Amino acid sequence: MSRQLHTFPGGLKLATFKHLSDSEMAQQQALPERLILPLQQHIGIPAEPVVRIGDQVLKGQVIARANGYVSLPVHASTSGRIIDIGDYPVPHPSGLNAPCIVIEADGLDQWGEITPTHEYASVDPQELQTVICECGISGLGGAGFPAHVKIREGVDNAVDTLIINGVECEPYITCDARLIQEKAQYVVAGTRMIGHAVQARHCVIAIEDDMPASYQALAELVGEDIELVTVPARYPAGGEKQLIQVITGKTVPSGGLPIHVGIVMHNVATAAAVYRAVTRGEPIISRYVTISGNVERPRNLQVLLGTPVKDCLANCGFTDDGRSKIILGGPMMGMRVRNPDIPITKTTNCILIQRHEPAPPALPCIRCGRCAEVCPVRLQPQQLYWHAESGNFRAAQSYHLFDCIECGLCAYVCPSHIPLVQYFRYAKSKVAETERRERGAEYSLTRFLEKNARAERLRADRARPLPPDTSQALAEKRSYIEAAVARSKQKKELLQKDQADDD
């Protein structure tokens, strides 16, 4: 019996342009002369270097260790020599530099020692979690949340359904589709491993209904333990909360997590990475990346992490004429970058080249309500915009600002060309800044009050009369000291007298 599917509010059918890059096998990107590996390629705390400049490293070797629970180690993508540890341009909206480790490749691409985990089904789930953490696996389909943290949630809580997300809903991006078609066995086996790690009652692999080749590749491998589901191709069906709603009918509460409704979700590329980590001991050092848009040869590449973006673009015949813009990700949620020297990281799923065209001037909101109609979270974007634009960020927060997934649909349909998502991102940053400042002020106030309380207790202790027995003990001690001083004084006087008699 096929699973009954549900729907989510809003959304839009978009032109996909996936045919540009999904027509041929992914190509192995050439080894660059040097690799730039950011210490933070995931949500959480940056890793801490364990190598020094001049060290020789092997492929897969840990070069930076995890620095806390919500953190991941970084591994060398190839063998070579550490030539620098410092700040370099990284994929980030700010365009600022961040700490990186730079490896000069020796061309040997020699692996270090790695250890597979045999017979995973008999291994304790917490041991699998440790393996996944040590191999540096983060979510490869979105923000890059450390995979072991989600799996630990499944270990600590009852999981009804594990969903492996292959719904590639944003236009142009086909890296997951190519991965499924070329490595379907990795995806299916990785699904079983994650299912064992979280002890899920049901395992589901979800793809869009416009991915027939991917469906066929998976259908030949799944058994009764894994359900293969196709969902309607409607953006943003691949969003975490939207896909959960479509497959299970459950709604993740505002501010909540999927585990709160018994769901754990991972990306198909994450499942494939888990398979390699468990069966081969391989850390995540490469990924599939879609190169599409205005390039001569759109395609997918298998790219070592740390490879400069410009190398991937050159491989696809792109020459910058000054009229193009580089977007990491898709056209709806992607991030524009201006420096092609930035490296490929764990969360880089697409490099999109589009013609740079000046944005039309923003006009006043006409209250047409189209933004609310397409919002997949049932927000009121016009209200959020008015409060964000006026600087009333607390009011924006009361309209569930942080439930916004920044899908970009509201700005896409806005007839006034208002860059709504930019306003929402700005408001989120201001609220977070205010909360950090308030936490700092609250901490300082707590320290101040605690210090005053300690001083008051000390003053009270000093002013409190001593108990009688304590007073008597002090009096006896004082008498003993006075007697000792008297004896010392008498002895000194006798010594002086004897010296005078000798003279």
Going by pLDDT thresholds of 50, 70 and 90, the confidence category of residue 93 is confident
Single pTM value for the model = 0.85
Helix (H) or strand (E) holding 156: helix 147-156
**What pLDDT score was predicted for residue 28?**
97
How far apart CA 157 and CA 349 sit, in angstroms, is 30
Residue 320 in domain: no
Residue 502 in domain: no
**161 touches 247 (CB < 8 A):** yes
On whether both 160 and 36 belong to a single domain, the answer is yes
Range of the domain at 47: 18-291
Residues 16-54 pLDDT 10s: 999 999 989 999 999 999 999 999 998 889 999 999 999
Going by pLDDT thresholds of 50, 70 and 90, the confidence category of residue 351 is very high
Residue 426 in domain: yes
Two structure tokens written together for 229: 């589901």
Helix (H) or strand (E) holding 441: helix 420-463
Burial tier of 211 (Cβ tally within 10 Å: 0-12, 13-18, 19+): buried
On whether both 136 and 258 belong to a single domain, the answer is yes
Using the predicted structure, report yes or no on whether residue 84 has a pLDDT greater than 90: yes
**91 touches 71 (CB < 8 A):** no
Using the predicted structure, report yes or no on whether residue 463 has a pLDDT greater than 90: no
Domain boundary at 291, 314, 333, which? 291
Q: State the DSSP string of 381-411.
A: HHHHHHHHHHT-HHHHHHTTGGG-----HHH
**40 touches 48 (CB < 8 A):** no
Residue 312 in domain: no
CATH of the domain at 186: 3.40.50.11540
Average pLDDT over residues 261-282: 95
How far CA 476 is from CA of 317, 469, 471, 490, in Å, comes to 97, 11, 9, 21
On whether both 398 and 267 belong to a single domain, the answer is no
Mean pLDDT of the chain: 91
**59 touches 31 (CB < 8 A):** no
How far apart CA 211 and CA 140 sit, in angstroms, is 19
- Cα Rg for the chain, rounded, in angstroms? 31
On whether both 171 and 36 belong to a single domain, the answer is yes
On whether both 167 and 280 belong to a single domain, the answer is yes
Residue 43 in domain: yes
Using the predicted structure, report yes or no on whether residue 464 has a pLDDT greater than 80: no
Q: How many domains does the chain have?
A: 2
Residue 185 in domain: yes
